[in-house]
Structure 1
Amino acid sequence: MTPADSQACSSLFWSKFLALLAVVFGAMTLVSGGSVLFGPAEAQVAAGDYMPVVLWFNFLAGFLYIGAGIGIWLQHNWALGLSAIIAAATGLVALAFGFQVFQGETYEMRTVGALALRISVWTAITLTLLRSRSQR
Structure 2
Amino acid sequence: MVEHSTRSWTLKLAAGVAIVFGTLTILSGGQALFGSVAMRDAVGDAVPFVLWFNFLSGFFYILTGIGIAMGRRWAARMAVYIALAIAAVFALFGLHILQGGAFEMRTVGAMTLRLIVWIIVATVAVRNLPVVR
- The residue aligned with 1:59 is 55
Which residue does 2:42 correspond to in 1? 46
Which of the two has higher C-alpha Rg?
1
Counterpart mapping for 1:31-110 below 5 A: 31-110=27-106
Deviation at 1:131, TM superposition (A): 2.0
Identity %: 42
The answer for the alignment partner of 1:111 in structure 2 is 107
Per-residue deviation, 1:132: 2.1
| Offset of residue 46 of structure 1 | 0.7
Kindly report structure 1 stretches of 4+ aligned residues shifted beyond 3 Å: none
Runs of 5+ consecutive residues of structure 1 not aligned to the other structure: none
Contact between 2:76 and 2:129, CA under 8 Å: does it hold in 1? Answer: no
Q: Deviations over 1:38-85 (max 9, x none)?
A: 110111111111001000000000000000000000000000111011
1:15-36 CA-partner distances (Å, limit 9, x unpaired): 1111111000000000000001
Q: Does structure 1 conserve the Cα–Cα contact (< 8 Å) formed by 2:45 and 2:104?
A: yes
| Aligned partner letter, 1:11 | R
Name the SS for the 1:105 alignment partner.
Answer: coil
Deviation at 1:133, TM superposition (A): 3.8
Superposition CA RMSD, Å: 0.9
**Residues of 2 paired with 1:90 and 1:42: CA distance?**
28
* CA–CA separation in structure 2 for the residues paired with 1:130 and 1:83: 8
Q: TM-score, normalised by structure 2?
A: 0.95
Residue 75 of structure 1: SS of its match in structure 2?
A: coil
Q: Which has the higher contact order (CA 8 A, sep 6+)?
A: 2
Residue aligned with 1:48, SS: coil
Count the aligned residue pairs: 130
1:23 to 19, 23, 32: 19
TM-score of the pair, normalised by structure 1: 0.93
